[in-house]
Amino acid sequence: MAIRPILTVPDPVLKQRSKPVEGGVTDVHRALMDDMLETMYDAPGIGLAAIQVGEPLRIIVMDLAREGEEKQPRFFVNPEILWTSDDKKPWEEGCLSVPDIYDEVERPARVRLRYMTYDGKTVEEDAEGLFAVCIQHEMDHLEGVLFIDHLSRLKRESAVRKVKKAERERAL
Ligand code: K2U
Ligand code: ZN
């Protein structure tokens, strides 16, 4: 397993649309998921999409366990949203690719998912609460969409300027 660098705005790779995994889940994909999970825990974060470590594949890892709880790693390969609720819910979001920027995004409160597991089994599952927020945030990443793309242009441009400034100051 290895901790990989997480891409940050304005890296153009983050705007790429990720490609589906073809021909089932292999050991190569599982090695990538293992690295993604280690990278996510190290960040720390509760979700990570493969494109955030530069791999344009439709793969997401997640762990919503609270501090002090036993880890509950989750793996989503070729996730699809089959249904979204009409009711929406605002949530304060952040992103490991837009460090130290937080703002409110409104998303459907409940979604129904279909995806392949770490072992390649196709399952369907309903999500609500933080799980629904996180999976929709990560699936945005698979379309090259960041949570700041849901904000006003003013807020989005301010966020990118702040991340670039912080990275310049870190490099000094
Ligand atoms: O995509 C990412 O960068 C992972 C996010 C996942 C996330 C975003 C918004 C709301 C929930 C999850 C990171 O984990 S950001 C850190 C974080 C942690 C807990 C709650 C919100 C944000
Ligand atoms: Zn993110």
Domains in the chain (CATH in brackets) are 12-171 (3.90.45.10)
Q: Is the CB of 45 under 6 A from ligand 1?
A: yes
**Which residue stretches of 85-152 are H helix?**
129-142
* Best residue for ligand 1 mutational test, from 69, 93, 111 (most atoms within 8 Å of Cβ): 93
Residues 69, 93, 125, 138: which is the catalytic one?
Answer: 138
Alpha-carbon torsion (15, 19, 25, 26), positive or negative:
negative
**Amino acid code (one letter) for 92:** E
Sole residue written with tokens 């703002």: 103
Alpha-carbon torsion (119, 122, 124, 129), positive or negative:
positive
- Mean pLDDT score of the chain, rounded to an integer? 97
Give the span between the Cα atoms of 40 and 44, in whole angstroms.
6
1 pLDDT higher than 90:
no
Q: Is the CB of 18 under 6 A from ligand 1?
A: no
pLDDT digits (tens, 9 = 90+) for 16-58: 999 999 999 999 999 999 999 999 999 999 999 999 999 999 9
Q: What percent of the chain clears pLDDT 90, i.e. is strictly above it? A: 98
pLDDT digits (tens, 9 = 90+) for 57-80: 999 999 999 999 999 999 999 999
Q: 38 catalytic, yes or no?
A: no
- Ligand 1 centre and the CA of 80: distance in Å? 19
Give the span between the Cα atoms of 14 and 55, in whole angstroms.
10
Question: Residue 72's pLDDT is what?
Answer: 98
Q: Is the CB of 138 under 6 A from ligand 1?
A: yes
The atom of ligand 1 lying closest to the CA of 91 is 10
Question: Residue 60's pLDDT is what?
Answer: 99
Question: Residue 19's pLDDT is what?
Answer: 98
